[in-house]
Structure 1
Amino acid sequence: MDLKIITPVLLDAYLGELPSGMRQAFESLEDAALSTPNFSFYISVASVFSSKIEGEAIELDSYIKHKREGIAFQPDYTKKIDDLYGAYLFAQDNPLNEKNVKEAHRLLGRHLLASAWQGKYRKQNRYVATDDGRIEYVAAPPQQVESEMSRFFEDIALLLDKPMEIEEVFYYASMIHLVFVKIHPWNDGNGRCARLIEKWFLAEKLGQKAWYLQIEKMYYLHHQTYYNNIRALGLEYPDLKYEKALPFLLMLPNCLNAPVR
């Protein structure tokens, strides 16, 4: 494969670190008993914990009561999570490509961004700062975002066409997540979208059971490690060192051992 941006540089090292039995663990996944034709427990888990990573004050039990049983809460408590839930449902029914990722961002961004920036790449400089105001990452320059995202989706198309074992699928899903969040193409919603695309790729390659993986919950429970592993690549986009990405890539297989509710 002639990949342009989603690098295979760590694939051999990654495969050498993986636990055995990934295929068996994946095939044993089942939907939760709480799910109904109109309610997905695992999409709720994904939406809640992906939002909690971004600082949303939402609890899973409350959200399940809201979504499954129709119990009303203050709109501010649930609206961003409802938007993300809708984006996950959209991803389940549509192929992974640039057009559909933009639509998923429009859906999840309805209460994050002005409508003019929902599903639209940023035109501004962006950086990630700590709570005390220290810059810890400078994203791709705005004039490069369109071209970097074009290369990103060209690589995804190649990867979707390539037969892979499950171990290789997990590697590229994590690398897709990492490359996307480092480009940082939106004005907001980058983390939520990166985690959605990661699972979307897994589902395209491995099937419906990928939606039952509690990936977002695993990242939330280890969110300091998650952020540290993302930071490890460097401060500025042109100088990123993907050879330092192995600790991040090795997080995803841990979701196969997550307890199932």
Structure 2
Amino acid sequence: MDKLIKPEHFATWKSMLDIDIRQSFSSIEQFVLEPHSFTFYTSVSVMSSSKIEGEPMEVDSYVKHKMLHIEYLPELTEKPNDLYNAYLFAHENELNRSHFLQAHRLIAAHLLPADQRGVLRKTEMLVMEHKTGRIQYEAAPLSMVADRYDAFWRELEDLLQQDLTIEEVFYYASFIHLAFVNIHPFSDGNGRISRLLEKWFLREKLGERAWYIPSERYYYQHINAYYKNLARLGLFYEALDYEKAVPFLLMLPQSLTFER
């Protein structure tokens, strides 16, 4: 079986970069943090990721909820708060298979019944674009999910042990996001946890300042491009064309500079 997290598109991706990743990330490493900075940036990341999945609460309102303890209706805050708890868990724990499943249990607290949290799905899966309701693509067939999930983690564990350049870190973080979301191994919460996984991998490789990369906000602010770039690969899992993945893979480094 070919690798799921594919190295062969790195050269093309790097040739198309128009951002100095090291310099741009260095500015994130150097800005002054306040006591509330992690709460603020995590709130923005969490609500941006949640809005990609169709949650109605505005990002600014959620920031007020977390920073100023302003109460809103539970149906507005429950699912974002579950995702926030998963980000806190990731912040405090290393990235491994066991911790990843625990993060999904936290994310899925108000998405799935208890027996479906942190376990692989048992049904076929169509991935829908939340903004339009259109079918985005067909996820990995049920017969393949367990094997692909295991192969994905073996590749990810290998990457976690490798010394990578900062360009390779961003490339593989994006590809981890993409490969995981294409498998769609859980019954729900796959999009949310794929964006957390991307950030978690960045933290493992680059340190704690990786949590301040505004990737989720960038994806939300460019949601049409996000879905379009995912859709470029094709409709069926077994026929995905990863030659067309580069536009999606370029979005993560672009997030480093879009708010300046």
> What is the match of residue 16 of structure 2?
17
Q: Distance in 1 between the 2:185 and 2:162 partners?
A: 26
Q: Distance in 2 between the 1:12 and 1:31 partners?
A: 34
Distance 1:254 1:73, change over 3 A: same
Shift of 1:194: 0.5
CA contact (8 A) 1:83 1:108 kept: yes
Q: In the alignment, does 2:141 pair up with 1:141?
A: yes
Shift of 1:241: 0.9
Q: Cα deviation per residue 1:118-160 (whole Å; 9 max; x = unaligned)?
A: 1111010001245776533111111211111111111111111
Question: Which sits farther off after the overlay, 183-192 or 13-22?
Answer: 13-22
Letter in 2 for 1:10: H
> What is the match of residue 120 of structure 1?
119
SS class of match (2:109): coil
> What is the match of residue 41 of structure 1?
40
CA contact (8 A) 2:5 2:179 kept: yes
Shift of 1:8: 0.8
Q: Distance in 1 between the 2:60 and 2:127 partners?
A: 31
Distance 1:5 1:35, change over 3 A: same
Q: Distance in 2 between the 1:62 and 1:34 partners?
A: 20
Letter in 2 for 1:231: A
CA contact (8 A) 2:4 2:151 kept: yes
> What is the match of residue 53 of structure 1?
52
SS class of match (2:127): strand
Q: Distance in 1 between the 2:45 and 2:227 partners?
A: 18
Q: Distance in 2 between the 1:220 and 1:20 partners?
A: 20
Structure 1 segment 241-260 matched on structure 2, within 5 A? 241-259=241-259
Q: Distance in 2 between the 1:233 and 1:51 partners?
A: 24
Q: Cα deviation per residue 1:69-117 (whole Å; 9 max; x = unaligned)?
A: 2221111111111100010111111121221111101001101111111
> What is the match of residue 163 of structure 2?
163
Shift of 1:32: 5.2
Shift of 1:4: 2.9
CA contact (8 A) 2:105 2:118 kept: yes
Equivalent pairs, count = 257
Letter in 1 for 2:14: L
> What is the match of residue 217 of structure 1?
217
Q: Distance in 2 between the 1:253 and 1:139 partners?
A: 26
Q: Which has the higher helix share?
A: 2
Root-mean-square deviation (Å): 1.8
Once superposed, which parts of structure 1, at least 4 consecutive aligned residues long, lie more than 3 Å away?
A: 30-34, 129-136
Shift of 1:19: 2.8
CA contact (8 A) 2:19 2:254 kept: no
Gaps of 5+ in 1: none
> What is the match of residue 6 of structure 2?
7
Gaps of 5+ in 2: none
Question: Which sits farther off after the overlay, 15-24 or 81-90?
Answer: 15-24
CA contact (8 A) 1:53 1:220 kept: yes
Structure 1 segment 190-201 matched on structure 2, within 5 A? 190-201=190-201
CA contact (8 A) 2:129 2:227 kept: no
